[in-house]
Structure 1
Amino acid sequence: MAVSYLDYTSPTIQFTYDLSNNLFFKKDARNYINGLSINQLNTLGNVSLLDIFLSTGNVVEPHIHQNATELVYCISGSAVVSIVNPFTKELLNFPIQPGQVANVPQGWWHYEIASVDNTHLLAIFDAPVPEFIGGSDLLRLTPASVFAHTYCLNEAQVKETLAPITQTVVIGPPNDCHAQQVQDKGSARSPYPNHAYFSQPYGSTTYQHPDRPQHQMPVIGNGWGYR
């Protein structure tokens, strides 16, 4: 436990906070995240959290927290927490329901997908302000030529595929995304073939973005590190 040097007699000391006053990101009325860090509640110490609300199929985008472990607790609904184990090179999928948790070690690549509507998750971090690197930022900021050269890909196709990613996504798919069924001879597959989590065959869906105007993601001046 870290030693606290707070002056607990100060009139600025805080012991309570309403998370609804700190909207971190909002996709729509059913998909949004409220945040709490030491910047909102100065007595927190080495802990912080995200209060996450999702509807079916919505995803907290693939990302890492390079300075914090994340404990994901399901309050209501259900979700799948997916983690890439960097040691075994395996993708691990953990379905959680109310009262269940999934733990994401510090710096591990992970994401969460809601299995039903009205899913409510609480993500708890062992850092006063968890840092964040989103997959959308890695994809949009890395030149297509680097991906193409490194992985022996067609640069034009890489550039065309990634061009619609113009900002940090946070909760996907974006509102202006249009889902279309892939026209192929294969059967529709869930991304989790051993579990029927979704009413739609997400594994057989391609998200195609039309030309869309760029819009700014809200930047909350709370020190979360999301931009």
Structure 2
Amino acid sequence: MAVSYMDYSSPSAQFTYDLSNNQFFKKDDRNLINFLSINQINTLGNVSLLDIYLSTGNVIEPHIHQNASELVYCISGAAVVSLINPFTKELRNFPIQPGQVANVPQGWWHYEVASVDNTHLLAIFDAPVPEFIAGFDLLRLTPASVFAHTYCLDEAKVKDTLAPITKTVVIGPPSDCKMNQVRSKMAPAQHANPTYSNHSVPSQSSYNQGYGQQHRQQYYYPQQQPVIGNGGYTF
């Protein structure tokens, strides 16, 4: 555990907590996140967690935890945990179902997408308070001129594309996203990348047999889109 000078005999020592009393973010009644850290239970060591509820196609925005690794455990439903391996320069997609986990090493860019409704995930961190850098801040705070100059892009188009990124998302797409309405009307055949029917994910056995190897760089949801969320602070 973390080095602690806590007097465990003190009346102020905390050993239990109701996570519903500390809601980190809520998009709606089916998409929300509760949070627990040393700020809620002062006897914790190097551990904290997010209690995550998602419905189909909802995304925990791309982000990193610069001070902690994250172990994502699926309690119910199904999700895909995606990360970029900075050593192999590869996007990896790991489908998880109840009882399965996916590990995100410290500082790695990652996101999670719910495959079905009523998905419940537990994200466990090896830090008393995990830090959080969101794609939201990286995109909105970097001048469009820098993106345009660095990557030889049309600055006006970059600025126009990023202009809507102004408010907290965390769980996307935003409820008022018009692009999401357009995508929902599109048939899977219209997409170049393959889809999983009914947003299901392969079993762990089929994944180990090569399914994930074949599709991990092409995973796509018809309703999924790049989303930006809240960031620039610790939980």
Which TM bucket (shorter chain)? 0.7 to 0.9
Name the structure 2 match of 1:56.
Answer: 56
Misfit runs of 4+, over 4 Å: 203-207
Name the structure 1 match of 2:157.
Answer: 157
Name the structure 2 match of 1:166.
Answer: 166
Offset of residue 188 of structure 1: 2.6
- The one-letter code of the counterpart of 1:56 is T
1:1-227 equivalences in 2 (<5 Å): 1-178=1-178, 179=180, 180-181=182-183, 187-189=189-191, 193=194, 195-196=196-197, 198=199, 202-203=221-222, 225=234
Offset of residue 203 of structure 1: 4.9
Q: Quick check: 2:58–2:224 contact (8 Å CA) kept in 1?
A: no
Task: Give SS of 1:140's match.
Answer: helix
Offset of residue 189 of structure 1: 2.9
- The one-letter code of the counterpart of 2:191 is R
Give the CA RMSD over aligned residues. 2.7
Offset of residue 205 of structure 1: 7.1
Task: Give SS of 1:138's match.
Answer: helix
Count of residues paired in the alignment: 210
Offset of residue 176 of structure 1: 1.0
Q: Quick check: 1:49–1:123 contact (8 Å CA) kept in 2?
A: yes
Distance 1:3 1:204 in 2: 45
Name the structure 1 match of 2:215.
Answer: none
TM-score after normalising by structure 2: 0.82
User: Which structure ranks higher in relative contact order (CA pairs < 8 Å, sequence separation ≥ 6)?
Assistant: 2
Q: Quick check: 1:181–1:206 contact (8 Å CA) kept in 2?
A: no
- The one-letter code of the counterpart of 2:190 is A
Offset of residue 149 of structure 1: 0.5
Name the structure 1 match of 2:212.
Answer: none
Per the alignment, do residues 204 and 7 of structure 1 end up closer, same or farther by CA in structure 2, a change over 3 Å counting? closer
Offset of residue 169 of structure 1: 1.8
- The one-letter code of the counterpart of 2:14 is Q
Offset of residue 190 of structure 1: 7.4
TM-score after normalising by structure 1: 0.84
Name the structure 1 match of 2:217.
Answer: none
Task: Give SS of 1:73's match.
Answer: strand
- The one-letter code of the counterpart of 2:11 is P
Distance 1:118 1:94 in 2: 19
Q: Quick check: 2:57–2:224 contact (8 Å CA) kept in 1?
A: no
Task: Give SS of 2:145's match.
Answer: helix
Distance 1:2 1:43 in 2: 10
Unaligned 5+ segments in structure 1 are: 208-216
Q: Quick check: 1:61–1:134 contact (8 Å CA) kept in 2?
A: yes
Unaligned 5+ segments in structure 2 are: 201-219
Per the alignment, do residues 176 and 69 of structure 1 end up closer, same or farther by CA in structure 2, a change over 3 Å counting? same
Per-residue CA distance 1:178-224 (angstroms, 9 max, x = gap): 12249x9x953376x3744638x7458778xxxxxxxxx7x9xxxx6
Distance 2:223 2:121 in 1: 27
Whose helix fraction is larger, Structure 1's or Structure 2's? 2
- The one-letter code of the counterpart of 1:148 is A
Task: Give SS of 2:74's match.
Answer: strand
Distance 1:57 1:64 in 2: 20
Per the alignment, do residues 9 and 190 of structure 1 end up closer, same or farther by CA in structure 2, a change over 3 Å counting? farther
